[in-house]
A = this chain, B = another copy of it.
Amino acid sequence: MKTGIVGLGLMGGSWALALRNANPSVETIGFDQLEQHRSQAEQLGLVSRCSTSMNELLDEVDQIVLSIPVDAIETLLPEILDQLSVDQAVIDFGSTKSAIAKAVVDHPNRSRYVAAHPIAGTEYSGPDAAFSTLYKGKVMIVCDGEQSDNAPLEIFLRQCIQLGMEVVHQTSEEHDLHLAYVSHLSHVTSFSLSNTVLNKEKEEQQILALAGSGFASTVRLAKSSPEMWSPIFLKNKVAMLQAVEDYLLQVQRFKSYLKEEDAEAVQRFLEEGREIRKILK
């Protein structure tokens, strides 16, 4: 089995590592647009070796995993499907799924494609952020699975199980709406919090010296890669706008309680939010 990994950052690099750890007979062949990422990935031993072109990679692998920004997946996936032979498959790890699904829904080779999104990650990026246990114990969402042939789907699902992942099936639309709320929105709140405090720091220079672990935790996602996240927000625009508007209403609700010094309402607002304890331990 030869697996091609396109995009050798945190997600792709970790997948390659984990795949080979779980199954040493798999050969992992990497590709990344950046020469620097290719040589780093080879030095770090993330992949068996690197290919210097997409076409070369396509010629020799059984399976390709795309772990690149979602706008790049949307462009590249139809081109790959054009060239795919009947015994090859392609999987994408994009964080939004509807736009990509639309781009290939009528493609004659659509069934050789598996739409996936691993719910795993850190705020770091690039080949040196990759580690072999990133996926262990995490959820892999597979979208529109009925549009994929059994063979490539089953091989991929088996890999997920081998890596200790739980598989959840959804439609692309469900996925994008859910993820807008439980993943994409928290990136917006973190980046916005960071911008607010960094702006204030221009007047109050010592302000960040007093930041504790609570602030660090809440702002952590603002360290994430803009190149990865900007396309995610844009490709998931409709659901994102809905999530951001819902969120703004909550912050405004808090603000008006505070302005009116309505202690009971503030307390209730916090108690409502604290219910999250029952779900997230």
Spell out A's residues near B (CB within 8 Å). 119-123, 138-139, 141, 168, 174, 177-179, 181-183, 185-200, 204, 206-224, 226-227, 229-231, 233-234, 237, 240-241, 243-248, 250-252, 254-255, 258-259, 261, 263, 266-267, 269-277, 279-280
A121 to B218, CA, bound (A): 14
Contact status of A247 and B198, CB under 8 A, knowing A222-B273, A226-B271: no
Query: In angstroms, how far is the closest chain B Cβ from the Cβ of A46?
Result: 21
Give the dominant DSSP class at A's interface.
Answer: helix
Residue of A177, A208, A226, A252 ringed by the most chain B CB atoms within 10 A: A226
16 A–B contact pairs at CB < 8 A? A121-B213, A123-B214, A178-B206, A178-B207, A181-B196, A182-B207, A186-B215, A189-B193, A191-B269, A192-B273, A198-B272, A208-B279, A226-B274, A230-B266, A234-B261, A244-B255
Q: Is the Cβ of A212 less than 8 Å from the Cβ of B120?
A: yes
Oligomer: number of copies: 2
A266 to B241, CA, bound (A): 13
A280 to B210, CA, bound (A): 11
Residue of A193, A220, A240 ringed by the most chain B CB atoms within 10 A: A193
A234 to B172, CA, bound (A): 43
